[in-house]
Amino acid sequence: MTATTERAVGSDVRRIDGPDKVRGLARYAFEHEVDGTAVFVALVQSTAAKGRITALDVSAAEAVPGVLAVLTHENAPRLGEVAEEIVVLQSDRVQYVGQPVAAVVAETSEVARDAAARVAVSYDAQTPDVELRTDRDDLYAPEELMAGFETDSVIGDVDAALAAAPVSVDVTYETPNQHNNPIEMHATVARWDGDVLRMWDANQGPHNLVPVITEAFGITEDQLHITSPYVGGAFGSKAYTHVHQLIAGMAAKVTGRTVKLELTRPQMFTLVGHRTPTIQRLRLGARPDGTLTAISHEVVEHTSQNAEFAEQTATATRLMYSAPARRTTHRLARLDVPAPTIMRAPGETPGMYALESAMDELATALGIDPVELRLRNEPDRDPERDVPWSTRNLVACLRQGAERFGWSGRDPRPGVRTDGRWLVGTGVAAATYPTRRRPSAARIEAVPDKPYVVSIDASDIGTGAWTALTQIAADALRVPMSEIDLRIGDSRLPKASGAGGSTGITSWGPAIMAAAQQLADREVPPGGLTVTGEAGPGDEAEQYSSHAFGAHFAEVRVDRDSGEVRVPRMTGVFAAGRIINATTGRSQFLGGMTMGLSMALHEESVLDLARGHYANHDLAEYHIAANADVGEVDISWIDESDDLHNPLGAKGIGEIGIVGSAAAIGNAYWHATGRRVRDLPITPDKYFR
């Protein structure tokens, strides 16, 4: 082991898992080799949205040569109570279109699918109710929102402040159902070794799955071993346990074989969650100088029959700007849809789209430049919690972004610039995402003259965490990166938080540093030494308000003959704490901004109101921005280290890039055309309505 004083953190290191991924050597869950002994599972999904199964005929399926078992609610193993929320072959009740009603296990995937098509199911079906509207009389206030946020917040007399405001806007925005579409489909390989359930699974942290799977199968943590080394994207859909993992476990139990279950792309539109649609009413009141006097953000969104999911859509509004009177509310409609889940910056993404669009409309009403309006409403403390920011550099992001984008001298009038048949406009929006850390542990095994084996059940879902954690470990142990052998993605490794909420680096990095600290000043004996370190939140969360911030600028061109929308350039500037790796960090911002562009212009899952299913459930009809949709993307960040939050000074960067980017594009669209589209996505037809 060679001591080094060079710092790996902050240097521009290539992704260490890159070569194996490019050469096809990196094994994803479904590719786990089982020497040709695996059998395959195919799902039969409900065509009814609501009602009861009245008859199931599996005889034709069972008669197909190669079929080993057909599981239905009549014969499937009974699972713990937790399975009720996930709806996994435990009763005849149907709660959404696409709900698994049978699972066929067969020697090949082709046989399994063929047999699945032969399962006959009859339903006593009722008309589904899947329409989100603000005039529904069954809207309710959930007890709390996701991540423990309070459902509502009220400060001051909002209605009076709005009525008295010299300038105000009252606008409603709608965001559609959206689906996570990582490249790697969700997949599980499962086998029972005696009473131990062994799984190779695509997820955002094996430990995330342990509570539900152990409860479902009535086993202890020692009886469950999940491995998940490489994951091909996730964005939230792989954060929690879904129905397919439980079915894989049941199928393995019933057949005594190793089973492989991979969802098809269409199945990913029903079985692994979606982003709830939202209807958001924004009311802003201001003095003529732009100072906000009232902020009201009321959200209506949906949840499902089987599980409550309450997205925290307006929570970013609570801290973004100050005003003496402020209100946020969240109301849910419980519909006959699959359960929603998290999708990259759940809450902040749709919520900041609405707030930052409304700020643009207010800027227009005031005749104040939209960058300037935000600068004039910069709070010096968290206005909701009345505590200081650990760091807040939104102003620097806006100024640097305006400079890089070339904002100054912008003509505020909409619809006046043309380039041939193109209408041209520019827009801006701000971004924020909370900085958090979660308890995690790490282990280091030191053996003289060998690389340090650093183990933590972290997860690299494509973010570059593998590389960044290796950099952190190298610095903590004062050795070059080549002397670190990092092991992640295994429930038998020290327990760590899942890859979610942009908390990976802020949670796992300090755990590795704590383990390294145990080794400092200790002589490693010839036989080696193993140490464990733990790290987690302290009182920084009470003392400070910690958030990443950002600013987006976009140029939009709209073809006035066809309504086609192009985004030739975007600028993103972020204040997201210490950036561990410039290359993978830039990729995170770029991916987020691209997903925001995709949200602004393309993504929408269309619910068939009569039958209750997502009609466009494949990549031919659910459009996602492709390379050709993305123009120049200029990404930079503020030199910032949030040392009050965690010893790395990092804030987490997985989600901040998407927040606000759809608003910047929508605002630029208005500037180009003079038309305000308040329901995403901004498809070509909306130019003509």
Choose which of 49, 130, 271, 342 interacts with ligand MOS (CB under 6 A). Answer: 342
| Residue of this chain nearest to ligand MOS (CB atom) | 236
Closest contact distance (angstroms) between CB of 217 and ligand MOS is 25
Closest contact distance (angstroms) between CB of 346 and ligand MOS is 5
Segment lying near ligand MOS (by CB under 6 A), choices 118-126, 186-194, 338-346, 377-385 = 338-346
Closest contact distance (angstroms) between CB of 570 and ligand MOS is 21
Asked if residues 307 and 339 have their Cβ atoms less than 8 Å apart, the reply is: yes
Asked if residues 567 and 629 have their Cβ atoms less than 8 Å apart, the reply is: yes
Instruction: Draw the binding track, 295-334, toward ligand MOS (x: CB under 6 A; -: no contact).
Output: ----------------------------------------
Nearest residue to 201 (alpha-carbon basis) of 230, 178, 173, 223: 230
> Which residue, 61 or 595, has its beta carbon nearer to ligand MOS?
595
Strand residue runs (E) in 576-660: 632-637
Segment lying near ligand MOS (by CB under 6 A), choices 116-124, 170-178, 340-348, 616-624 = 340-348
Longest dimension (CA), the chain: 77
Nearest residue to 53 (alpha-carbon basis) of 126, 111, 124: 124
> Which residue, 260 or 275, has its beta carbon nearer to ligand MOS?
275
By CB under 6 A, is residue 362 in contact with ligand MOS?
A: no
Amino acid 481 reads: M
109: part of which helix (H) or strand (E)?
helix 109-116
What's the Cα-to-Cα distance from 404 to each of 457, 552, 614, 657, rounded to whole Å?
Answer: 40, 11, 41, 17
Asked if residues 349 and 658 have their Cβ atoms less than 8 Å apart, the reply is: yes
Interior angle at CA 251, CA 246 and CA 252, nearest 5: 100
Identify the burial level of 3 via C-beta atoms within 10 angstroms of its C-beta, where 0-12 means exposed, 13-18 middle and 19 or more buried.
exposed
> Which residue, 204 or 293, has its beta carbon nearer to ligand MOS?
204
Pairing of strands 422-434, 51-57: unpaired
By CB under 6 A, is residue 501 in contact with ligand MOS?
A: yes
Structure tokens at 192: 């029972």
By CB under 6 A, is residue 51 in contact with ligand MOS?
A: no
Grouping H, G, I as helix, E, B as strand and the rest as coil, residue 43 is: strand
Segment lying near ligand MOS (by CB under 6 A), choices 97-105, 233-241, 395-403, 615-623 = 233-241
Segment lying near ligand MOS (by CB under 6 A), choices 124-132, 223-231, 234-242, 435-443 = 234-242
Identify the burial level of 258 via C-beta atoms within 10 angstroms of its C-beta, where 0-12 means exposed, 13-18 middle and 19 or more buried.
buried
Choose which of 273, 383, 425, 500 interacts with ligand MOS (CB under 6 A). Answer: 500
Choose which of 32, 186, 344, 557 interacts with ligand MOS (CB under 6 A). Answer: 344
Nearest residue to 129 (alpha-carbon basis) of 255, 3, 305: 305
Choose which of 128, 176, 236, 434 interacts with ligand MOS (CB under 6 A). Answer: 236
Cis ω on the peptide bond leading into residue 681 (within 30° of 0)?
Answer: yes
Instruction: Draw the binding track, 459-498, toward ligand MOS (x: CB under 6 A; -: no contact).
Output: ----------------------------------------
Asked if residues 418 and 581 have their Cβ atoms less than 8 Å apart, the reply is: no
Pairing of strands 484-487, 224-227: unpaired
> Which residue, 50 or 186, has its beta carbon nearer to ligand MOS?
186
By CB under 6 A, is residue 343 in contact with ligand MOS?
A: yes
Closest contact distance (angstroms) between CB of 314 and ligand MOS is 17
Closest contact distance (angstroms) between CB of 138 and ligand MOS is 27
| Cα–Cα distance measured from residue 655 to residue 104, given in angstroms and rounded to the nearest whole number | 38
Asked if residues 205 and 497 have their Cβ atoms less than 8 Å apart, the reply is: yes
Strand partners, 549: 432, 575
Asked if residues 305 and 334 have their Cβ atoms less than 8 Å apart, the reply is: yes
Nearest residue to 277 (alpha-carbon basis) of 689, 679, 686, 687: 679
DSSP state of 495: P
> Which residue, 343 or 479, has its beta carbon nearer to ligand MOS?
343
Active site residue 74: no
By CB under 6 A, is residue 205 in contact with ligand MOS?
A: no
Instruction: Draw the binding track, 157-196, toward ligand MOS (x: CB under 6 A; -: no contact).
Output: ----------------------------------------
Closest contact distance (angstroms) between CB of 594 and ligand MOS is 16
Determine which one of 184, 384, 640, 655 is catalytic.
655
Closest contact distance (angstroms) between CB of 660 and ligand MOS is 16
Choose which of 53, 86, 239, 599 interacts with ligand MOS (CB under 6 A). Answer: 239
> Which residue, 500 or 612, has its beta carbon nearer to ligand MOS?
500
Catalytic residues, by residue number, are 655
- Which residues contact ligand MOS by CB under 6 A? 204, 235-236, 239, 342-344, 346, 500-501
